Structure 1
Amino acid sequence: MSAARAPLTREVEVVNEHGEREQVHIPAERDLTIYVDRRELVTLMTLGAQPELLVLGYLLNQRLVQGASDVESITVDWEVNAAAVKTHAGIDRIEERTAKKVVTTGCGQGSVFGELMAEIERVQLPPTRMTQAQLYALVNAIRLQESTYKSAGSVHGCALFTLDADEQGGGPQAAMQIFVEDVGRHNAIDTIAGWMAMQPGEGAAGALGPARVFYTTGRLTSEMVIKSAQMGVPIVVSRSGMTQMGYDVAQRVGLCAIGRATNRRFVCYAGAERLVLQPGLAERG
């Protein structure tokens, strides 16, 4: 993989409500066209923080490759805003599999190729459970996280956490493994999928490993729930709400979906059996 990092923000001059000129930072949105074995596939709008992992995660979550081992190289060149992917054996039936494109609700016009809804029925999620204390620890870790959003706004953040195995809350509550921001939440989760696939001992799409929880600042749509399930992560947490289709998919695959998670407030939309409530904890300061 190349390491084509790009500045996440740029400074611009604005006029405030008093008519005064000042300098502020805004996210540096840029286009990135993905070529797979010299065939143009798609153009993503991204901040460009970790573009190689974004490309790998995109291919994984679109089910165009089964794992990182299918890919020989990923080279990103910001001079031409392109990512060149070389696979070991090509992508079988790529024309057919990318012919049907569904424009989703993702910021930056997220897209899902093929019949991913049909494939989701085959997903087997691990029996992960999370305590209420671990949920609060996760939300607090996000609150303390330094981010582009705090300095420039207009981006979504996603994170992957691992949980301590003790349901009584002994030891570490929730450990953040990676935090990603991008102009669209689907880009951020794809980048995390790429990161998972590159970890030692991971299976296809990073489905193996310790108990994990996915967090997003954005709403829980069908796309976010599907991608989390494909990644083998059975619990998703959002500071926003959930759509009907996202709810339906979560119910079908047995995924725990928690929304409106801020401070000590939350709503568990689906999979409540995975959440271990601790009476009185919400009232403790």
Structure 2
Amino acid sequence: MSASSEVMSALCAPAAWVAVPGAPRLTQARGELLREIRILDEYGEQRPILIPSERPLTVFVDKRELVTLMTLGAIPELLVLGYLLNQRLVERVDQIESITVDWDVAAAGVSTRGGLKDLDARTARRVVTTGCGQGTVYGDMMSQIESLKLPDPAVARIRQGTLHRMLETMRQQDSIHRKAGSVHGCALFCGAQMLMFVEDVGRHNAIDTISGWMALHGVEGGDKTFYTTGRLTSEMVMKAAQIGVPIIVSRNGVTAMGHEMASRLGMTLFGRAANRHFLCYTGFERFDSEPEPQRPAMRVVSG
């Protein structure tokens, strides 16, 4: 490990992640993540397999029904916290007194300190997005893009070798997807060190959960990289920008609106990233390229 890598590792690894002052009280309601079923395959054989759970979670804010999220249920309290922050329904974690999840009634009760001003008006206009499980953002979020400021490329950048180490970490990561498929995974990196990993039935749920974790522990995004297995849509780009992360890496591709939004924000997007392969779509100025040697052309010999 290089000296710079050792310094980065030390900066990214506090002795323990401590909640910020004024953080809400959270339950720890964990649902069953996998379910066993029997299937009949193409050989006519029956056998057991595992599939991911999926369950509704209806969010109530001060006893008012807000939204129902379809989720795996890995860390539902952080999902709800991140959702409220990313929808700009709350600005700070200390506005929330508690988040209580009860799977017996499939509900999350959010108690605020002093209520949320103009909640009805702020949630009146909805935009249905391409998020798995059908994502929703509230209309005025789209108009706030110009107010999002990311760190300068001189201080927030990534080396090709660091990107390779990130992809190797994700390749080795034990996951529900590896056991059962049908879920998306998201991770937060500081350099090549993974700080947080979560899976859910929708990629937007996974990034909301990471957003909640960052806010709860006061983790800044400027020196971080966000990884997702899902495609880079405008919703994913916007949510990463809201938590201050300027670099996103995806195993999948990018949409035209995601590309346009990232270009306007000065974000770096990598897609089709697996093993040592990647495509850098935007933000070349944040990337320290260390080009791979060109592969020799294949000769086709006929005869």
> What TM-score do you get using the length of structure 1 for normalisation?
0.92
Is 1:129–2:154 an aligned residue pair?
A: no
SS in 2 for 1:66: coil
CA offset at residue 242 of structure 1?
Answer: 0.2
Q: Distance in 1 between matches of 2:139 and 2:91?
A: 15
The corresponding residue for 1:67 is: 92
* Residues 75 and 83 in structure 1, CA contact (< 8 A), matched pair in contact too: yes
The corresponding residue for 1:171 is: none
CA offset at residue 210 of structure 1?
Answer: 6.0
* Residues 56 and 191 in structure 1, CA contact (< 8 A), matched pair in contact too: yes
Within 5 A, what are the aligned runs for 1:258-269? 258-269=270-281
Q: Distance in 1 between matches of 2:290 and 2:92?
A: 38
CA offset at residue 282 of structure 1?
Answer: 8.1
SS in 2 for 1:186: helix
Runs (4 or more) in structure 1 with deviation over 4 Å come to none
5+ residue gaps, structure 1: 164-173
Is 1:101–2:126 an aligned residue pair?
A: yes
CA offset at residue 77 of structure 1?
Answer: 0.2
The corresponding residue for 1:147 is: 175
Deviations 1:92-112 (CA, angstroms, capped at 9, x unpaired): 110010000011000011110
Q: Distance in 1 between matches of 2:101 and 2:258?
A: 32
SS in 2 for 1:189: helix
Q: Determine which structure has more spread, i.e. the larger CA radius of gyration.
A: 2
Deviations 1:83-135 (CA, angstroms, capped at 9, x unpaired): 00001021111001000001100001111013112111111112310000001
Q: Distance in 1 between matches of 2:292 and 2:254?
A: 26
5+ residue gaps, structure 2: 1-25, 296-303
**One-letter code of the match for 2:287?**
L
CA offset at residue 211 of structure 1?
Answer: 1.2
Q: Distance in 2 between matches of 1:180 and 1:77?
A: 20
Within 5 A, what are the aligned runs for 1:34-183? 34-127=59-152, 128-163=156-191, 174-183=192-201
SS in 1 for 2:81: helix
CA offset at residue 209 of structure 1?
Answer: 5.6
**One-letter code of the match for 2:256?**
Q
SS in 1 for 2:227: strand
**One-letter code of the match for 1:162?**
C
Deviations 1:66-95 (CA, angstroms, capped at 9, x unpaired): 121111000000000000000102111100
2:223 to 196, 199, 211: 211
**One-letter code of the match for 2:209?**
T
**CA 1:126–1:80 in structure 2 vs 1: closer, same or farther (change >3 Å)?**
same
**One-letter code of the match for 1:189?**
I
The corresponding residue for 1:33 is: 58
**CA 1:140–1:252 in structure 2 vs 1: closer, same or farther (change >3 Å)?**
same
> What TM-score do you get using the length of structure 2 for normalisation?
0.86
**CA 1:134–1:112 in structure 2 vs 1: closer, same or farther (change >3 Å)?**
same
Give the percent of matched residue pairs that are identical in Structure 1 and Structure 2: 57
Between Structure 1 and Structure 2, how many residues are aligned? 267
The corresponding residue for 2:202 is: 184
Deviations 1:195-228 (CA, angstroms, capped at 9, x unpaired): 00011xx2xxx5x366100000000000000000
The corresponding residue for 1:240 is: 252
CA offset at residue 281 of structure 1?
Answer: 6.6
**CA 1:120–1:281 in structure 2 vs 1: closer, same or farther (change >3 Å)?**
farther
The corresponding residue for 2:269 is: 257
* Residues 151 and 222 in structure 2, CA contact (< 8 A), matched pair in contact too: no
* Residues 162 and 210 in structure 1, CA contact (< 8 A), matched pair in contact too: no
